[in-house]
Amino acid sequence: MAEKRKTMSREEMTTALSTELQNTAEALPADLNVTRFANNAIALLYNNDVLRKYASEHGFAPVKIGLMRGAYLGLDFMNEEAHLVPFGSELKFMMNYRGAVKLVKKYSIRKVKDVYAEIVREGDEFQKTIENGEQRVDFKPLPFNGGDIIGAFAVCMFEDGGLLCETMSLKELENTRKASKNSNTGPWKLYTSEMYKKTVLHRLCKHIEIEFETPNQTTLFKNDIEIETDVVEQSKNEAAIEANTEPFVFDENEVEGVADE
């Protein structure tokens, strides 16, 4: 009975989110269209069976908190720049690879021309060099390569011609995965390659000087990249990674209705 009293209609949810956005307007990005954000967020909620079920069982309050985290960063859930992913009774806000790219391009002090991450597989040619103090990358992937993943890299190209590159071996990527308490569930299980790309991109972000509009944005961004850049947490899991060499199993039955990452 208590759970049912928490259930809200679509209109009530939209109103509650819109009110929260209006009350915290000073903490939001200046260019955020709050009406569009609210409408898109609630529409997405109703189109996602897993999130709709979560809201009916746990109430709208934790959903609203997660949606507001996206609003503070100016990330659009409809464009898959961020996601809300239920892990049991916990609802986790997760910035997507696409969201990280958007924030780097928008808030980097040094103007960015492009930023991206790629997976490196067996058979691909990859080389990172330094010429005249500047990093350079040469990547020649095999067409339609389905080989085993051996690492990943992220690149930020600046308008002044400079370039930054971050690389991570498969061992390092798995070390980061093990540092997550959700290492064998949700996006890490279902979308492993995308999570690898997000991980190395977040590591690269540590070397890009970013100036956000509000302190809240800075805090949220740093919290989201914490695991990927915490060497201490990674080292704690090194022994477990060495012992866990079983291949990942992709269960298509678990994909339906789960928020993409």
Rg of the chain taking only CA atoms, in angstroms: 20
Residue 255: inside a domain: no
Mean pLDDT of the region 230-248: 39
Residue 25: inside a domain: yes
Which tens digit of pLDDT belongs to each residue from 9-52? 889 999 999 999 999 999 999 999 999 999 999 998 888 999 98
Please tell me whether residues 102 and 181 are part of one structural domain: yes
Residue 260: inside a domain: no
User: Roughly how many angstroms between the first and final C-alpha of the chain, as a whole number?
Assistant: 33
Residue 251: inside a domain: no
Q: Is the dihedral of CA 214, 220, 222, 224 positive or negative?
A: negative
Residue 154: inside a domain: yes
Residue 196: inside a domain: yes
User: Does residue 209 register a pLDDT over 80?
Assistant: yes
Which of 80, 95, 110 is at the close of a domain?
Answer: 95
Q: Which residue has the higher pLDDT, 50 or 184?
A: 50
Please tell me whether residues 104 and 232 are part of one structural domain: yes
Which tens digit of pLDDT belongs to each residue from 89-142? 889 898 888 999 999 999 999 999 999 999 999 999 999 999 888 899 999 999
Which of 77, 95, 113 is at the close of a domain?
Answer: 95
pLDDT, position 253: 40
Q: What is the dihedral of CA 259, 202, 78, 106, to 10 degrees?
A: 180
Residue 141: inside a domain: yes
pTM: 0.78
Please tell me whether residues 119 and 153 are part of one structural domain: yes
Bridging pattern class, strands 125-131 and 134-140: antiparallel
Please tell me whether residues 139 and 241 are part of one structural domain: yes
Domain count for the chain? 2
pLDDT, position 39: 92
* Residue 211 in tokens: 């100036």
Q: Name 152's Cβ contacts closer than 8 Å, sequence gap at least 6.
A: 117, 118, 119, 120, 167, 168, 173, 196, 197, 199, 200
Please tell me whether residues 180 and 56 are part of one structural domain: no
Own/partner long-range contacts of 135-138 (Cβ < 8 Å, ≥24 apart): 135/163, 135/164, 135/165, 136/163, 137/163, 137/165
Please tell me whether residues 195 and 175 are part of one structural domain: yes
Domain span at residue 104 reads 98-246
Please tell me whether residues 80 and 161 are part of one structural domain: no
Please tell me whether residues 44 and 105 are part of one structural domain: no
Which tens digit of pLDDT belongs to each residue from 153-180? 999 999 999 999 999 999 999 998 888 7
Indicate the range of 68-72, 117-121, 251-255 predicted with least confidence: 251-255
Which of 72, 95, 118 is at the close of a domain?
Answer: 95
| Residue 203, SS3 per DSSP | helix
pLDDT, position 2: 42
pLDDT, position 235: 40
Please tell me whether residues 111 and 145 are part of one structural domain: yes
Distance of CA 153 to the CA centre of its chain: 16
